[in-house]
Structure 1
Amino acid sequence: MEIVIGILSFIATAAKYAISPIKNHIKYLSNNENQVQTLKNQAESLKDARERVQHSVDAAKRNGEEIEHDVDNWLTKVDKKIAEEVEKVMQDEEKAKKKCFIGLCPNLWTRCKLNMKAEEEAKAVAELLEQAKFDRVSFRAAPHGIIAASVKGFEEFESRTLVLNGIMEALKDASINLIGVHGVGGIGKTTLVKEVARQVKEGKLFDSVVVATVTQTLDVKGIQDQIADLLGLRFEEQSMVGRALRLQERLKKEKKILVVLDDIWARLDLEEVGIPFGNEHEGCKILLTSRDLNILSRGMDTQKNFAVGLLNEEEAWDLFKKMAGDCVESCDLQATAIEVAKKCAGLPIAIATVARALRNKSLFEWKSALCELKRPSSRDFKGVTAGVYSAIELSYNYLESEEVKLTFLLCSFLGHNGLIEDLLKYIIGLGLFHGLHTIEEARNRVLTVIQDSHWR
């Protein structure tokens, strides 16, 4: 009796495992159209979801933002899923409609496999649809800062290379965190420290480098904004104290950072700006430029100062030739050109502006310019020598048209951080350019003037 019961139990168990797959296959056969239709519906929903995400991605890219890694991966997976797996099921559906036995019976095995595949793909598509609920698709990356192959205007003259190397050594000294660079206006301090910033970034001496222009009219908020932009920081705080604390907190996250503050005219309270240094952040070094050594050594307590001097006669002539072109080597022009170059007194800004203004001019224009440069200027500006003023005035007088002159003056008014859009507003509002009927026409004219001008 026990043997019989055992046999029956075995038969029942075998039947259970045999019947279950059969039931599943019958289910797949009976739900043939439902499974495939479900997949089709979900595939359409996935395509719609992909399109919505792509729209957000395109908008973010136009805004200069970086796309999140998981969003890129999701888009790739969706494209592959739709193009390969789902489309294959659709193609298999057509095959499953064909009959076997000379067209007399439905191809049951093909249909069964199709439904199994459709159900599997429907689950995969459902998972992708669930993953499409991104909180955000992009982020604003911090600007890369100064890492160009070269700094415009920097010339590797011996006098400049000696100062640059000295600054680089000071930056490597662990005991120094405040370094000053001083010299008269137009001597090339800004160009020099930008080259320093480029080299330390390229050589990975610091993890990050930020440069902010201070200017004569002190604007602490403006300095904070310049540094924050380069670090990808957005202020939510309204008070100056709150902004300073936020900036300080952000700077401390950089293990080694160089902060360049260019064109300081008076003592600047680093704590008020939000720049930590010394014991507060030993990895933060600050490089300052000013026309006045006293402001650096007494006002800012710099530990090491470097003077940027005039170009020697050979360096000045080499720069002048580069800016004016080969014409200065001609026999009839060379003597006058040398005299003009000497009148620029070794100041790079004077040399560059005068040489560019006289490029491709006739001999009589060179002689006229020399007379103007010999005539002492009656103007007196703090930090600007008479020679520099005469050179800039000469350059201005040689500008091609009134449009260019007006643009030059507006750029001077807007300062270091002036924007093209601001310049455009003034030009349109004041009616300085004639014959323009649309904003686009005005913008194109402004951009053309700036592009073609030798003072840009």
Structure 2
Amino acid sequence: MADGVVTSIADKVIDSMFVVANKEIDYMWNCKQHVQNFKSEVQKLKDMKGRIQQKIELAKDKGDNLVHGVEDWVSAVDAEILKAEEFVTEEGNAKKTCFGIELCGNWSTLHRYGKKATHTAPLTELQEHGKPYESCVSVDTPAPGILDCYQNKNLIDILTYNSALDNIIKAINDNSKQVIGIYGVGGVGKTTLTKEIALTVKNMFADVTFTTISKKFDVEKIKKDTENARKRIINGDKILIILDDVWEELNLDELCIPCGIQHMNCKILLTSRSKHVCENMNAQSVICVNSLPLEEAWILFKHVVGDKLETDTDLTSVARDVAKECGGLPLVIDVIGKTLKNKDVDATIKTVYNRLKLSYDFLESEAQWCFLQCSLFPEDEDRQELLKFKEKIMK
């Protein structure tokens, strides 16, 4: 019985030795085939890397973000291909030395290259890991929005502006207030103010979304602009939506903006030329943005014109009068100031005219008539008689 056990063990050892020996012999005998298979796997990996690299370049050209891991995969492939090419070069040089490696009498050389050529696992594993990247290497990245491109105006010395800014931020910080309205005449700086606010409070919110409404608004455009924000509100994220330049009451339900007691994680900041619009949209806080007093208008004017105000004597002599005529409206100050700085008078007149005409067109017909009649009066003259006449014709 003992002899049988010994014999069985001996048979297994011999079989194992035979398998090992056969494998080692195969490395030498089929060295050429192993090397060819190795080269084939290297080429497959190179081809895959080339296809994926093309997709990466296209994604970068579009400005899209690459998916996590694809760049690490490319780096790993480059490193593995470098090692593989070093081996192929080394094997090729050995072949030259042996007048054709299949005729080489150095069995040790054949064994070494044949065995190393069978180590294709790193190559095939990288091919397997690269398969998902052949269909997708990037995620769509939204184009920069208005807030992404806005640069801080640094108007810390404009007290009227900063007072309004502080009041609005206090209202935003008040958890009992969901809708905050800002109103003021056209050109007073409401839009600029909301952008400054967005920069100031952006760290308080998961996202800040800005959309311009305008007089002739498009419901579908507003829905598109606020789509991601609306989804995130439903998911519980704290979101600030800025509705700029609202001319009439908007139905938030129609715009599919989640708000009310069930969605206090949503804050809405709206700007309008009309206080009544803010009130009609149930703003819990309504803040007026006033035009700048003369001294602050002059400070802003100097900001816009810059050093030229100090070096151009002709400009210096009329600058204060020009700043006064801007009526304390930052938009007009900005446009006029840049004109005096760049000498493009025609473009300035057109810009200011278009802004003023929009306000004029929105007036009732009687108010338009009264406005035009006012232009007939000399500067600073009492217009009370005209106002009395207007009241009579409106009865």
Query: TM-score normalised by the shorter chain: which range applies?
Result: 0.7 to 0.9
Q: What's 1:198 paired with? A: 199
- What amino acid maps onto 1:114 in structure 2? Y
Query: Number of residue pairs matched?
Result: 349
- Counting aligned pairs with the same residue, the percent is 34
Does the CA-based 8 Å contact 2:183-2:273 persist in structure 1? Answer: yes
CA distance in 2, matches of 1:138, 1:64: 10
- What amino acid maps onto 1:187 in structure 2? V
Q: What's 1:255 paired with? A: 237
Query: The residue matched to 1:210 in structure 2 has which SS?
Result: strand
Query: The residue matched to 2:131 in structure 1 has which SS?
Result: coil
Q: CA deviation at 1:66?
A: 1.3
Q: What's 1:67 paired with? A: 66
CA distance in 2, matches of 1:360, 1:126: 65
Change (3 A) 1:155 1:186: farther
Does the CA-based 8 Å contact 2:150-2:195 persist in structure 1? Answer: no
Q: CA deviation at 1:144?
A: 6.3
Instruction: Structure 2: state its 5+ residue gaps.
Output: 376-395
Query: The residue matched to 1:91 in structure 2 has which SS?
Result: helix
Deviations 1:355-401 (A, max 9, x none): 2222376xxx9xxx9xxx9xxx9x944379989xx9xxxxxxxxxxx
Q: What's 1:397 paired with? A: none
Query: The residue matched to 1:69 in structure 2 has which SS?
Result: coil
Does the CA-based 8 Å contact 1:252-1:276 persist in structure 2? Answer: yes
CA distance in 2, matches of 1:117, 1:284: 63
* TM-score, with length taken from structure 1: 0.69
Change (3 A) 1:340 1:7: closer
- What amino acid maps onto 1:208 in structure 2? D
Q: What's 1:185 paired with? A: 186
Query: The residue matched to 1:337 in structure 2 has which SS?
Result: helix
Q: 2:287 aligns with which of 292, 306, 322?
A: 306
Q: CA deviation at 1:210?
A: 0.7
CA distance in 2, matches of 1:248, 1:196: 20
Q: CA deviation at 1:180?
A: 0.7
Does the CA-based 8 Å contact 1:182-1:293 persist in structure 2? Answer: yes
Q: CA deviation at 1:4?
A: 4.1
Instruction: Structure 1: state its 5+ residue gaps.
Output: 232-246, 391-456
CA distance in 2, matches of 1:327, 1:63: 41
Q: CA deviation at 1:176?
A: 1.1
Q: CA deviation at 1:327?
A: 4.5
Change (3 A) 1:184 1:8: same
CA distance in 2, matches of 1:381, 1:153: 33
Query: The residue matched to 1:249 in structure 2 has which SS?
Result: helix
Deviations 1:277-326 (A, max 9, x none): 123422111100000010001x2100011111011111101111222344
Does the CA-based 8 Å contact 2:189-2:331 persist in structure 1? Answer: yes
Give matches, 1:144-223, under 5 Å: 145=145, 146-147=147-148, 150-152=151-153, 156-201=157-202, 204-223=203-222
Q: CA deviation at 1:155?
A: 5.9
Change (3 A) 1:38 1:254: farther
Q: Which has the higher contact order (CA 8 A, sep 6+)?
A: 2
Q: 2:88 aligns with which of 87, 90, 96?
A: 90
- What amino acid maps onto 1:295 in structure 2? V
CA distance in 2, matches of 1:182, 1:149: 21
- What amino acid maps onto 1:307 in structure 2? C
- What amino acid maps onto 1:58 in structure 2? E
Q: 2:266 aligns with which of 251, 264, 284?
A: 284
Change (3 A) 1:116 1:280: farther
CA distance in 2, matches of 1:60, 1:46: 21
Q: CA deviation at 1:46?
A: 1.7
Q: What's 2:277 paired with? A: 295
Question: Cα RMSD between the aligned structures?
Answer: 3.1
Give matches, 1:405-424, under 5 Å: none
Q: What's 2:25 paired with? A: 26
The structure having more radius of gyration, on CA atoms, is: 2
Change (3 A) 1:327 1:65: closer
